[in-house]
Amino acid sequence: MVKTLLPEEEFEAFIQSYTQSLKKSIKILKSNQHNFSTTHKQLTNDGRSLTPPNFSRKGKNYDDVFFVDKTDKQSLWSHLLHQQGAFYVQEIAAGLPTQILNVQPGEIVLDLCAAPGGKSIQLADKLWFNGLLIANELNPSRRKALKANLERCGIRNNIITGYDGKQLGNLLYEQCDKVLLDAPCSGEGMQYKSDFKIYQWNEKQVRKLAHIQYELLTAGFKALKIWGELVYSTCTTNTIENEGVVTKILEELGDSIELVNVEIEEKSKGIGIDHVARFRPHIHHTGGFFIAKFKKNKPTSYLTSNNEQHLNREQHQRKILENKQIQQHSKKRIPSEIIFLQTKHTIRAVTKKAVWFLDILYIDQAGLPIFKVLNNNEWKPLEGLEKLSNSKN
Q: Which residues are catalytic?
A: 235
Burial class, 380, CB count within 10 angstroms (exposed 0-12 / middle 13-18 / buried 19+): exposed
Q: Are 378 and 390 in contact (CB under 8 A)?
A: no
Q: Could you tell me which of 7, 23, 24 has the C-alpha nearest to residue 15? A: 7
Cis peptide before 116 (omega within 30 of 0): yes
Alpha carbon 91 to its chain's center:
13
Q: Could you tell me which of 186, 188, 228, 227 has the C-alpha nearest to residue 209? A: 186
DSSP 105: T
In angstroms, the CA 285 to CA 283 distance is 6
Specify which residues 369 forms β-bridges with: 348
Reduced 3-state DSSP string for 46-84: CCEEEECCCCEECCEECCCEEEEEECCCCCCCCCHHHHC
In angstroms, the CA 174 to CA 224 distance is 5
Q: Are 56 and 266 in contact (CB under 8 A)?
A: yes
